Amino acid sequence: MISRSLRAIRCSCGSGKFQTPVYDARSIFLTYVCEQCRERKLAGFRSDILTDPNYPTTEPIEPE
């Protein structure tokens, strides 16, 4: 049996393409995307969180 984390899962956008996880610059999970919906889904996030690990926050971020 293959665990869910190792199986290829189709994206929820309806494209039928496989999804991949997206993480911010601090390795915090954001969402799942495929090549078709990536731009649309990531448009809801500030662009600096994808590239700057020191981006400003209003909430404390706890180290893992």
For residue range 8-51, what is the model confidence (pLDDT) as tens digits?
899 999 999 999 999 999 999 999 999 999 999 999 999 999 99
4: three-class secondary structure by DSSP: helix
C-alpha span between 58 and 62 (Å, rounded): 13
For residue 43, the Cα-to-chain-centroid distance in whole angstroms is 12
Give residue for tokens 């969402």.
31
Do the Cβ atoms of 46 and 38 come closer than 8 Å? no
How do the domains of the chain map onto residue ranges?
A: 8-50
| pLDDT band per the 50, 70, 90 thresholds, residue 61 | confident
Task: Supply the pTM of this predicted model.
Answer: 0.77
Contacts with 35 (C-beta within 8 Å, 6 or more apart), sequence order? 17
Give residue for tokens 């809801």.
44
